[in-house]
Amino acid sequence: MSQFSVQSRCECQAILTATLDEKHHVVSGTASRGRTREVAPAHSIGASDERFDIGWACPFCGRNTLRTIHVGALRPVRAAS
């Protein structure tokens, strides 16, 4: 199963990360700030389109962060060896 990774910054400067499956549905979401890493609930909207949105709930500041993603910008996640 192919997986992809997307990163963006929240307004509070936390790094939001989402791991997506081959259909661009979110498998997991995290947020990192400094050395702290937390679960950041995330979901994809319009995942079947060339451009789709990913929404995160930032655990650090409580904001709902929405970012538009283009399929061509997805980075494959390398399998663990």
| Whether the model pTM is above 0.75 | yes
Q: CA–CA separation, 22 vs 42, rounded Å?
A: 16
Which residue from 1, 6, 16 is spatially nearest to 65, judged by alpha carbons? 16
Q: Is the pLDDT of residue 62 over 60?
A: yes
Condensed to tens digits (0 to 9), the pLDDT of residues 4-46 reads 999 999 999 999 999 999 999 999 999 999 999 999 999 999 9
Beta carbons of 54 and 67 less than 8 angstroms apart: yes
